[in-house]
Structure 1
Amino acid sequence: MKNTFKKITLSALAVFAMASCDEQKLTDLNINKNAPTDVDMRYLLAYGQLRVAGSRYESWRTNLIYSSTMIQHNASLQGYWSGDKYYYNAQYSGAYWESHYPNPIKNLTHVVDKTAGDPEMANVHAAAQIMRAFDLHRMTDIYGDIPYTQAGRGLDGDENWFPAYDSQENIYQFLVADIKAARDEFSTSALPLGAQDVLFQGDITKWKKFANSLLMRIAMRMSNVDPATAESVFTEALSNGAIDSNDSNAFMTQVLGNGGDTNYNGTSLVFSNQAGGGGDNNGKVSKTFMDWMNEHNDPRKMIISGGTGNPYDPSTWNTDPDAQKGLPNGYTSVTITSVNPDFTSVHEYSFVNTEILDLDDPTPFISYAETELMKAEAAVKGWISGDAETYFNNGVRAAMASWAAFGVTPPSDEEVDAYLAGLDFAGASNKLEMIGEQYWAATYLNHIEAWCNYRRTGFPALTPTSDPNNMTSGTIPKRLRYYEDEVGSNPASYKAAVDRQGPDLMTTSLWWDVN
């Protein structure tokens, strides 16, 4: 009887073992043995960089439809160009948030966390940290209080599923600390970034310059609310070496292809006729900007303007500089007749030069021109030694010359000399205004940055538009409203941010905006 029981037991165990073995084999069938178990962090860094440069979706909505028209670089008669007339469009207002949190911020955060503390991966970690900070800096300057500490970490634990919004004041502290730490982490003994670094092709000297110029931008942004800290951050960054030539510009090189790395200003403004959108009714050069260039005999006019006429039909173009005509902001195809009774077609207004909108033109992040103009402002404020006029002239020259990166011939040295002589910065009593105006001109195409600096400085002095359906009581928007999905998907964090910062409206000022 015992032998029989033993045989039955052994047989059962054997069957169970065979079943377990078969079950494991079945489980193993679900594993793709050809799939990589680890992802090259440099690949994710490259992907994150390209996504920070933007997709057509949010580039069109945030950089062009809202920012370029709020700052009166461009204008449009189309109602969906919401920034031109201070309308609220939920999809457009939330587009940057909707696109960047689940894409570049998530990927760059993953790289930062996976490479932290690994000496071999120090360069990858540092570059990812700077790119993450750059994108979150732009995000907070668009919306105000945002998730920073927990951003992109939803897969690390359920405590991050409903991320808290950090106050903008704290975010600025985090930005400075993160960028400084990353800048100082770069090492020639660590794994090289190589060609997968699509921004600087592995040049860590340029990465450090980028980090320092970004710190200077952050310092300037908080200069009206915390001038002591701002001066300290600015001077420390400058002493460590900022962008010092157009060769070091943080311009994302773009290529023609299907890899998501085309220039989305061009996709929106030139190719929207084929891709869907405004076509030849898209954004035009603003009358404000055109008048300013005419007033100062600015040699960039025919770099910015491609002429009047149908941008899709060169036979209609009038490229005579004296014939250029900016489109007033704040009008529709019906109301434009109140200022132009003879209006017949939007083609009588200057369109944006298609030569600076090629799909392989670079996407600007921060430039030598901006760096020198910030130094000019710092000199006027007494933060740094040196001649403010020299910095100002350097900034203007650099801004003019930087258009060569877009495949156009920049103004000649003689033209720039004459332009600077006409400006007479040394003899001017409104030096800060002149710096602000030149910064505005230098950031054409980088319209988000132009809007941010305008809100800080109040320059140039813009006259708001007055469409009767505007949502701001006729004032230039101070922020964009949060992505509407946050109201339902992250209600507690959203409410806490609104309670602290103020109503989720386009008229609510950010922490650093006290103008």
Structure 2
Amino acid sequence: MKFNTIYLIAVAFMIIVTASCKKDLANANVNPDQITSAKYDPNLLLTTAQLAYPGATNVGGSAWATKWGAVGCFIQHVASTSSAFYYGDKYINNIGAMGEMFQDSYTSDVQPVIELYQLTANKPQYRNLHQMARIMKALIFEQITDLYGDIPYFQAGLGYYDRIYTPVYDSQQTIYNDLLKEVSQATDSLTEDGDKPTGDIFYSLSSDQIGEWKKFGNSLLLRMAMRLTKIDIATAQTYATKAITGTTMQSNNDNAIVEHIESGNALTSNQDAVQIFGNDSLDLRLSDTLVNNMKKYNDPRLAVVAWLYDGVTADSTSANQIGLPPGYIIGGNNPKVDITKRSDYPANGLAGYSRLSDNILNIGAPSLVVTYAETEFLRAEAAVRWPGITGDLTAAAHYKNGVTAAINQLSTYGTFPSITDGAIAAYYANVKYNAADALEQINTQYWLCTLMDEYECYANFRRSGYPALTPTNYPGNVTSGTIPRRLTYPPSQKTSNLANYNTAVARLTGGDKMTSRVWWDK
């Protein structure tokens, strides 16, 4: 999954010029030496969009403030004693931080992918690149709408092309209908007879680039289809059937991955690591919900993803790992939420709680975008819901494939210690498929395998209801002690797009709150 590093250098240039290219295009007849759409390779915009998706170009913003400050805590992958930085641990309403992802995405993710879509439309030399643009566009917008609900979609990013500067918020139902259509059509339209895009981070070095994109497209289509199982079961089944029939990912070799580089260039670094370490490297810890689940079933991943670190030495021994309970602070006037008053508080303080290891949290660590393991869990659930949909393989078989692949995908990080086949087999024996608890098992494993992909994990948790997390009830929380169901819009929308913002808020039951539910979460 490695890609040509020349594109990482070029993309930095592209990110700088993208914001100004509209002005350049408008003045093209005045200065023929300025950069125009005819003078640069749109492949670079694909690189930009792929880098931006996991947060790589959102320097100083949403990867920390929204992904880990809110969502990672909501789903109890992580916990913190801070109520300011990691407000999601206590369901505090930090509207500015929750809106960071919205603002960053429309700048760093949406703009380049819309530009790519427009510049490659109806151009035979970019036939496949255009289909990839459609798929990437759907991937990006799915993530935004899953977090906020109704968002600008059809008019987003069209300031230059259509002079639309205050885009309408489209309903999530309408957005999802279009996302499913776009991914389905784009995947079907990819052709071996067309171009082989060189700016593709995911698969450009594969001997079967177009085939890989078809599997990626179908896997994404399956994920989108399964998102609707609470709200529109007929549409979910229709598109799940189409995705599965069209061939989804077949092994970890098909995983869509953004590789990062250990360098001083923030554009090519893993922003999870850059922003967590840059803002607060001491207080974010793995939740005891996660650690206890992994210890209970002797999960071999624990020694890879967790360690105890005192600033000098690191201990990755599974038996020694201790997760931080959510909903606590250090000190204060309420002994019920002062973690130092607990009888099991470590003698060495916060250092006694496990944190994300440097195997998976470092500036050179890759970002997994869509994986075979996730896809197999979704196929397992589809087989439970609609027997026979996956053909010869049963739900149990897909579940086992998912468990095995989820563990083996850690090799992407170059992890140490390695996990043996024997350890995987022993773990599976502890979590073996049981038809009576199938949906809980499948989606709990999905929760485990999407550690580091917090937005997707949060969406699947809200959709499936698993695992059954115990919410916190920290004094002053704004959700009445319930796990938040969405993020609130950024305050800037009240000044830059007030009328459309108000219309969108009016459609939310309860208004623009963390307890309001997006359309598919009804």
Query: For residues 160-188 of structure 1, what are the alpha-carbon distances to aligned partners after superposition, in whole Å with 9 as ceiling and x for unaligned?
Result: 21111110111110101111121122223
Shift of 1:32: 6.5
Tell me, in whole angstroms, the C-alpha distance in 2 between the residues paired with 1:125 and 1:244. 25
Mark the CA change 1:421 to 1:492 in structure 2 (over 3 Å): closer, same or farther. Answer: same
**Amino acid corresponding to residue 284 of structure 1 in structure 2:** R
**Amino acid corresponding to residue 509 of structure 1 in structure 2:** R
Shift of 1:104: 1.8
Mark the CA change 1:200 to 1:321 in structure 2 (over 3 Å): closer, same or farther. Answer: same
Tell me if 1:197 matches 2:183: no
Partner of 2:160: 155
Tell me, in whole angstroms, the C-alpha distance in 2 between the residues paired with 1:400 and 1:153. 42
Tell me, in whole angstroms, the C-alpha distance in 2 between the residues paired with 1:205 and 1:332. 50
**Amino acid corresponding to residue 33 of structure 1 in structure 2:** D
Q: Which 10-residue stretch deviates more, 293-302 or 455-464?
A: 293-302
Partner of 2:244: 238
- 1:215/1:237 contact within 8 Å kept: yes
Tell me if 1:393 matches 2:400: yes
Shift of 1:320: 3.1
Tell me, in whole angstroms, the C-alpha distance in 2 between the residues paired with 1:28 and 1:500. 43
Shift of 1:342: 4.7
**Amino acid corresponding to residue 419 of structure 1 in structure 2:** Y
Structural mapping, 1:282-361, within 5 Å: 283-306=284-307, 308-310=308-310, 312-314=311-313, 317-334=314-331, 335-340=338-343, 342=345, 345-361=349-365
Partner of 2:482: 475
**Amino acid corresponding to residue 320 of structure 1 in structure 2:** T
Tell me, in whole angstroms, the C-alpha distance in 1 between the residues paired with 2:34 and 2:395. 61
3-state SS in 1 of match to 2:446:
helix
**Amino acid corresponding to residue 332 of structure 1 in structure 2:** I
Match of 2:82 among 58, 62, 78: 78
Tell me, in whole angstroms, the C-alpha distance in 2 between the residues paired with 1:358 and 1:63. 16
3-state SS in 2 of match to 1:465:
coil
- 1:356/1:407 contact within 8 Å kept: no
Query: For residues 22-49 of structure 1, what are the alpha-carbon distances to aligned partners after superposition, in whole Å with 9 as ceiling and x for unaligned?
Result: xxxxx99973737565331111121121
Partner of 1:123: 128
Tell me, in whole angstroms, the C-alpha distance in 2 between the residues paired with 1:489 and 1:29. 31
Structural mapping, 1:252-291, within 5 Å: 252-257=258-263, 258=265, 260-269=267-276, 272=277, 275=278, 277-281=279-283, 283-291=284-292
Q: Which 10-residue stretch deviates more, 234-243 or 394-403?
A: 234-243
> If you compute each CA radius of gyration, which structure gives the higher value, 1 or 2?
1
Partner of 1:105: 110
- 2:73/2:89 contact within 8 Å kept: yes
Tell me, in whole angstroms, the C-alpha distance in 2 between the residues paired with 1:510 and 1:493. 17
Tell me, in whole angstroms, the C-alpha distance in 1 between the residues paired with 2:204 and 2:364. 17
Tell me, in whole angstroms, the C-alpha distance in 2 between the residues paired with 1:332 and 1:47. 39
Mark the CA change 1:458 to 1:149 in structure 2 (over 3 Å): closer, same or farther. Answer: same
- 2:292/2:323 contact within 8 Å kept: yes
Shift of 1:345: 1.7
Mark the CA change 1:339 to 1:458 in structure 2 (over 3 Å): closer, same or farther. Answer: farther
Partner of 2:370: 366
- 2:90/2:327 contact within 8 Å kept: yes
* Structure 1 or 2: more helix by fraction: 1
**Amino acid corresponding to residue 191 of structure 2 in structure 1:** S
Tell me, in whole angstroms, the C-alpha distance in 2 between the residues paired with 1:28 and 1:248. 42
- Structure-1-length-normalised TM-score: 0.89
Tell me if 1:31 matches 2:31: yes
3-state SS in 2 of match to 1:482:
coil
Q: Which 10-residue stretch deviates more, 36-45 or 77-86?
A: 36-45
Cα RMSD after superposing both structures: 1.9
Count of residues in Structure 1 that have an aligned counterpart in Structure 2 = 475
3-state SS in 2 of match to 1:192:
coil
Tell me, in whole angstroms, the C-alpha distance in 1 between the residues paired with 2:28 and 2:496. 36
Partner of 2:233: 227
Tell me, in whole angstroms, the C-alpha distance in 2 between the residues paired with 1:134 and 1:29. 36
Match of 2:380 among 363, 376, 380: 376
Tell me, in whole angstroms, the C-alpha distance in 2 between the residues paired with 1:401 and 1:34. 48
Partner of 1:43: 44
Mark the CA change 1:150 to 1:31 in structure 2 (over 3 Å): closer, same or farther. Answer: same
Gaps of 5+ in 1: 1-26
Mark the CA change 1:29 to 1:451 in structure 2 (over 3 Å): closer, same or farther. Answer: closer
**Amino acid corresponding to residue 97 of structure 2 in structure 1:** Y
Query: For residues 398-452 of structure 1, what are the alpha-carbon distances to aligned partners after superposition, in whole Å with 9 as ceiling and x for unaligned?
Result: 00000000011442111111111122314x5211101111000010110111111
Partner of 2:184: 180
Q: Which 10-residue stretch deviates more, 226-235 or 320-329?
A: 320-329
Partner of 1:218: 224
**Amino acid corresponding to residue 317 of structure 2 in structure 1:** D
3-state SS in 2 of match to 1:354:
coil
Tell me, in whole angstroms, the C-alpha distance in 1 between the residues paired with 2:82 and 2:363. 24
**Amino acid corresponding to residue 376 of structure 2 in structure 1:** E
- 2:305/2:359 contact within 8 Å kept: no
% identical aligned pairs: 34
Gaps of 5+ in 2: 1-26, 332-337
Tell me, in whole angstroms, the C-alpha distance in 1 between the residues paired with 2:504 and 2:102. 15
Match of 2:498 among 470, 488, 491: 491
**Amino acid corresponding to residue 364 of structure 1 in structure 2:** L
Shift of 1:319: 3.3
- 1:165/1:493 contact within 8 Å kept: yes
- Structure-2-length-normalised TM-score: 0.87
Shift of 1:304: 1.6
Tell me, in whole angstroms, the C-alpha distance in 2 between the residues paired with 1:266 and 1:28. 41
Tell me, in whole angstroms, the C-alpha distance in 1 between the residues paired with 2:213 and 2:299. 32
